[in-house]
Amino acid sequence: MAESLLADPKIVQMIMEIHAYLQPHIAANNQRFDRFCANINRQFEETTQKLAQQLTESTQNVLDFEKQAFWGERADLSRSLNSTACQDTAKLVPLPLPNGGYPAEGEFPETLGEFMSLEGPGLTALLELYKLPPQDQVIDARNTLASYLNIPL
């Protein structure tokens, strides 16, 4: 039956006209579809890059938070131990420095008595070590450090 329809010149002519009419529309639709796919691919790539960047930033934020939490735990423990110092022979525990390390040996007084005997240069060095604001008076420097280190005066 299909062969008999194609043998009819009118049907063949109509098919050719339909094909001629549809060909530019099909080509235009294909171009639109190609642009649509290219746009989707571009958006997908941008989103993938943004997600990778956000994941990196989130990971760094978690690591920074962990460092801060660990620093805080160590500082709290040191402050807690320092709060019990009531005699000159009482041992003091250095707090971690802002960079996470600890003062080098000899940079931090070992006892409450050593802390109380520190004068201007020693107090200034400790203030700088812990990135605390400088103080003009020895008493102010000692009070600032005592408050920060939780040393009872």
Q: Could you read off the pLDDT of 18-51 as tens digits, one per residue?
A: 888 888 888 888 899 999 999 999 999 999 999 9
Looking at every residue in the chain, the average pLDDT score rounds to 93
Given CA atoms 49, 54, 57, 63 in this order, what sign does their dihedral have?
Answer: negative
Choose among 100, 113, 142, 112: nearest CA to 125.
Answer: 142
The pTM assigned to this predicted structure is 0.67
What was the pLDDT predicted at 13?
Answer: 87
Is the model's pLDDT at 2 over the cut of 80? no
Q: What is the pLDDT of residues 63-109, one digit of tens each?
A: 999 999 999 999 999 999 999 999 999 999 999 999 999 999 999 99
